[in-house]
Structure 1
Amino acid sequence: MSLLEIRNLNVSFGSTAHPFHAVSGLDLTVNRGEIVGIVGESGSGKSVTMLAMMGLIDAPGRVTADQLQFNGQDLLNMKPAQKRQIIGKDIAMIFQDALTSLNPAYTVGYQLMETLRLHTPLRGAALKRRALELLEQVEIPDAKSRLDAYPHQLSGGMSQRVMIAMAIACEPKLLIADEPTTALDVTVQAQIMELLVNLQKQNDMALILITHDLAVVAEVAQRMVVMYAGEVVESSATETLFACPRHPYTQALLSSIPEHSKGARRLSTLAGVVPGQYDRPQGCLLSPRCPYAKESCHTSKPALLPLAGTNVRCFTPLDANGIPTHE
């Protein structure tokens, strides 16, 4: 049995008469001990998907799904009190921008111990010992003195490590890392990714990495899910996706990696932006930006269908040579 099963997840905002669909018909399966990368531009619905799964979408947002199951438990019909026992303990999330996620009015130690108080029986000296162990586990130097530090006294990389410590405090079965390396320099990015992967292996937990940068997760994720404008456009094993992208959007993302443009005068780009609430195309959501779009792409919506070891949402998927099949 899979650890996480999501079927036909939909998240919308705005009025019911004219809703904005931030996520549409999303299916996702995550197995125990697996690392899954969810990639796409800003506005693709990556973070909203995970927030919806955790029950963190407030009104006027609306969340519906055919199935939302974690570790055999039905999250859709679970009472709020039951869900609070799971969220933060068995499912943990590292949110974007650690400096704004930490409370500036409380010390690092207080915030770590607050998480432990809510989900474990630890109290007193045992609580403080566990908080110190967590800071040491995420390799924060001089961890004992950091317990009394406030967030503004930490660097960006150190703040991110504190957020990771809080997330793994209760040894979750599933850890979601939302843009864990944003705003960090390249050296610190590599350290944070290495730390996350090591913790994932030590605790045998499933790890979902949300990012707009394919290169960040290329070497660590076993499986990749590519999202665009709230829809999954391609999903496959990481090796398969990098060797033979089937969707034009995936091809464009891969082409934008600097290493793929060596010798070229300009970095490859995809013109346009992810459509918002008021510029949603009638057909395929990528059609206004897609260099391979044909007439049917502008009038009909493609379904996500299996193709040679991958799933792709496209009327003219690319072949093994990167050529659209209608040409």
Structure 2
Amino acid sequence: MSLLDIRNLSVAFGARKKPFRAVENVNLTVEHGEIVGIVGESGSGKSVTMMAMMGLLEKQGRVSADTLQFDGHDMLTLSARERRKIIGKDIAMIFQDPMSCLNPSYTVGRQIMEVLALHQGLKGAALRDRAIELMTLVEIPDPARRLEAYPHQLSGGMSQRVAIAMAIACKPKLLIADEPTTALDVTIQAQIMELLVNLQKTQGMALILITHDLAVVAEIAHKAVVMYAGQIAEVSAVPAIFRRPHHPYTQALLKSIPEHSKGTERLFTLPGIVPGQFDRPIGCLLAPRCPYVQQQCSAQRPELTVTDNYAVRCYFPLNASGQP
């Protein structure tokens, strides 16, 4: 049994008569100990998909799915109390901006210890010792003293390490890292990514990495999921997806990497923009921008076709030469 199994997940916002589907019919599986990279433009539904799975969008949006299972638990039927026993313990998430997820009114030590007290029932000296152990694990220097620091007294990199310590406090089975290095300097980004990979290996947890950085996915992920306009465009193993993309959008993402545009005046780009709430085409959502568009593409929306080696949402998948 897969650790995470999602079938036909959709998330709608706005009025019921004219809803905006930020996520549409997403299928995703994550195995125990697997690293999955989810890539795509801003607004493609990467973060919303994971937040919906965790039950964090109940007040903002409407979530529906055929299957939403984690480690044998049906996340659709769990009560709020039952879900709280899983979220933060077996499933944890690291958000983009560490300063937005740390409470400025409390010391970082208190915030780490709150997680431990809630999910593991630790008290007294054992609680403090475990908090120090976690801060040591994420390589925060002088952890005993840093327990008394407030978030504003820490750098961005240190704040992100505190957020990671909180996320791994209960040894989760699944860690979701939502662009964990976006707000950090380049040198710090590399340190945080190395830390996450080391923690994933030593603790044996599955890791979902939401990112714009294809190089990071190529280096650490076992599987890549490409999203476009709220849908999954392609799922394939790494590094196979980099050698032979099957969806035109995946191909365009890879072509946009600066190394592929050496000797040219401009980076490669697709014409047009991602469809919004009021301009979504009837057919394939990429059809207005796709260089290989055909009549069928504009008339009917394709389904995600699954093969032994990959899954692709396209009527005319690309062949080994990069053509449909």
Q: Normalised by the size of structure 1, how large is the TM-score? A: 0.96
Q: CA deviation at 1:149?
A: 1.0
- Compute the displacement of 1:307 (Å): 5.0
Partner SS for 2:240: helix
In the alignment, what sits opposite 1:35?
A: 35
SS in 1 for 2:63: strand
Q: CA deviation at 1:121?
A: 1.7
When structure 1 is superposed on structure 2, of 142-151 and 26-35 the one drifting more is 142-151
User: What does residue 269 of structure 1 align with?
Assistant: 269
Aligned to 1:150: 150
Rounded Cα–Cα distance in structure 1 between residues aligned with 2:226 and 2:169: 30
C-alpha displacement of 1:276 = 1.6
Instruction: Give 4+ residue runs of structure 1 displaced > 4 Å after superposition.
Output: none
Which stretches in structure 1 are left out of the alignment for 5+ residues? none
Please state if 1:70 is matched with 2:70.
yes
Question: Structure 1 residue 233 and structure 2 residue 233: aligned?
Answer: yes
Cα deviation for residue 308 of structure 1 reads 6.9
In the alignment, which residue of structure 2 is the partner of 1:88?
88
- How far does the alpha carbon of each residue in 1:79-132 deviate from its partner, in whole angstroms, 9 at most, with x for none? 211111010000000012111111111111011111111101210111111111
User: What is residue 119 of structure 2 aligned with on the other side?
Assistant: 119
RMSD: 1.2
Please name the residue that 1:215 is paired with: 215
Kept in 2: contact 1:9–1:24 (CA 8 A): yes
1:160 is paired with a residue whose SS is: helix
**Which residue is equivalent to 1:311?**
311
Q: Given that residues 215 and 257 in structure 1 are in contact (C-alpha distance below 8 angstroms), is that contact kept between their aligned partners in structure 2?
A: no
* Residue 11 in structure 1 maps to residue 16 in structure 2: no
Task: Give the letter aligned to residue 233 of structure 1.
Answer: A
Contact 2:284 / 2:301 at 8 angstroms: preserved in 1?
yes
1:254-277 CA-partner distances (Å, limit 9, x unpaired): 111112222322211223322221
Distance apart, 1:54 and its partner CA = 0.3
1: CA distance between counterparts of 2:281 and 2:48?
Answer: 21
Measure the CA separation in 2 of the matches of 1:22 and 1:32.
Answer: 28
Tell me the alpha carbon deviations over residues 202-241 of structure 1, each in whole angstroms, 9 at most, x when there is no partner. 1100000011221222110000110111111100101110
Residue deviations 1:150-178 (CA, integer Å, cap 9, x gap): 11111111111111000000000000000
Q: CA deviation at 1:195?
A: 0.5
Give the Cα–Cα distance (whole angstroms) in 2 for the partners of residues 199 and 308 of structure 1.
Answer: 30
For each residue in 1:16-74, what CA deviation from the matched residue of structure 2 results, as whole angstroms up to 9, or x when unmatched? 11110111111111000000011100010000000000000033410111111111111
TM-score, reference length from structure 2: 0.97
What is the distance in 1 between the residues matched to 2:122 and 2:176?
A: 24
2:74 alignment partner AA: D
Q: Partners in 1 of 2:179 and 2:86 — Cα distance?
A: 22
Alignment partner, residue 197 of structure 1: 197
Task: Find the aligned partners of 1:270 and 1:142 in 2 and give their Cα distance.
Answer: 49
Q: CA deviation digits over 1:241-300, x for unaligned, max 9? A: 000001110011111111222232221122332222112111111112112212222221
Letter in 1 for 2:24: S
Alignment of 1:176 onto 2:176: yes
Could you tell me which residue of structure 2 aligns to residue 101 of structure 1?
A: 101
Deviates further, 266-275 or 221-230? 266-275
- 2:47 counterpart residue number: 47
Percent of matched pairs sharing the same residue: 68
Match of 2:26 in 1: 26
Q: State the SS of the aligned residue for 1:104.
A: coil
Give, as a single letter, the amino acid of the residue that structure 1 aligns with 2:175.
L
Counting matched residue pairs gives 324
Unaligned residue ranges in structure 2 (runs of 5+): none
Preserved contact between residue 96 and residue 183 of structure 2 (Cα < 8 Å): no
- The farther-off stretch of 213-222 and 268-277 is 268-277
- Whether 1:302 and 2:299 are equivalent positions in the alignment is no
**Higher mean displacement: 269-278 or 248-257:** 269-278
